[in-house]
């Protein structure tokens, strides 16, 4: 009798261990799948002399470092409606012009309405947004430039995130600066990676 109940207890223990093993395994698979989620990130930039383009390429590297992420890199003037609306996240980069985003980047945002008709339906709503900038001087408008990019995104009810620096990634390119350095490129990569991660976390689950 004692032997019988011990045997049943042992069987239950083995069974429950087996079930918990299966549960852990299933969770591990789904966590893996969510990391592999195919998010699409659009990196759009303006660059006249190549600095912002270099940062854009580092942002792309960072985003691509998250497995399963698709990244489209385009100059702001080349972005199509499909690029915009099919992306889960958009990261916009600008050189600092007179302590603000360049005219090309401002026109890009204006075209969300004039060319792409984002309003009144808020077609960019709940997509992830982020910014990066390059400026000639240490303190002459990089943060304002990133904040005005983020402001345009907030006006479109996007979810803005930072990375690299407090408001995004930035680099100083003129004066005493030797040009974009490794740390600034690493910040740009960190921004791209973080945007891809947040987009993967918030991506709507496809309905069955
Ligand atoms: C019209 C113009 C205005 C600029 N204004 C500023 C400025 O206000 N503050 C600053 O730090 N750099 C300023 N710059 C320097 C650029 O922001 C800097 O060189 C930037 O890295 C250029 O980016 P790009 O190589 O991608 O074109 C200005 C450059 C131009 C051409």
pLDDT tens string 161-208: 999 999 999 999 999 999 999 999 999 999 999 999 999 999 876 654
Where b means 16+ CB within 10 Å and e means fewer, 22-52 reads eeeeeeeeeeeeeeebebbbbbbbbbeeebb
Q: Do 22 and 41 have their domain in common?
A: no
The domain of 3 spans 1-35
Q: How many domains does the chain have?
A: 2
pLDDT tens string 66-91: 999 999 999 999 999 999 999 999 99
- Is 207 part of a structural domain of the chain? no
Res 51 pLDDT > 70: yes
Q: Do 149 and 89 have their domain in common?
A: yes
Q: Do 59 and 152 have their domain in common?
A: yes
| Tokens encoding 94 | 């600008």
Q: Do 150 and 160 have their domain in common?
A: yes
Q: Do 113 and 192 have their domain in common?
A: yes
Q: Do 28 and 42 have their domain in common?
A: no
| Tokens encoding 103 | 């005219």
Round to whole Å and give the CA distance between 202 and 126. 9
pLDDT tens string 8-49: 655 564 544 444 443 333 333 333 444 556 899 999 999 999
pLDDT tens string 143-167: 999 999 999 999 999 999 999 999 9
Pocket test of ligand 1: the residue of 49, 134, 135 to mutate, having most ligand atoms within 8 Å of its CB, is 135
CA 194 to chain centre: 6
Atom of ligand 1 nearest to the CA of 173: 21
pLDDT tens string 89-114: 999 999 999 999 999 999 999 999 99
- What are the C-alpha distances in Å from 11 to residues 3, 5, 17? 12, 10, 10
- Is 119 part of a structural domain of the chain? yes
Nearest CA to ligand 1 atom 1: 97
Q: Do 7 and 22 have their domain in common?
A: yes
Nearest CA to ligand 1 atom 29: 97
């Amino acid at each position: 009798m004692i032997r019988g109940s011990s045997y049943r207890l042992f069987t239950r223990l083995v069974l429950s261990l087996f079930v918990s093993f299966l549960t852990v395994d299933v969770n591990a698979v789904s966590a893996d799948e969510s990391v592999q989620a195919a998010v699409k990130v659009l990196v759009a930039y303006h660059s006249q002399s190549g600095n912002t383009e270099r940062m854009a390429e580092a942002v792309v590297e960072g985003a691509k470092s998250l497995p399963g992420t698709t990244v489209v890199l385009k100059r702001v003037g080349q972005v199509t409606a499909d690029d915009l609306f099919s992306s889960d996240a958009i990261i916009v980069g600008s050189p600092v012009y007179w302590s603000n985003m360049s005219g090309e980047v401002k026109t890009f945002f204006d075209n969300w309405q004039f060319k792409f008709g984002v309003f009144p339906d808020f077609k960019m709503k709940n997509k992830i947004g982020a910014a990066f900038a390059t400026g000639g001087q240490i303190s002459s408008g990089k943060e304002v430039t990133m904040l005005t990019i983020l402001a345009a995104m907030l006006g479109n009810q996007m979810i803005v995130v930072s990375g690299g620096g407090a408001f995004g990634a930035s680099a100083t390119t003129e004066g005493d600066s030797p040009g974009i350095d490794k740390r600034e490129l690493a910040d740009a990569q960190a921004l791209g990676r973080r945007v891809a991660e947040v987009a993967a976390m918030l991506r709507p689950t496809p309905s069955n």
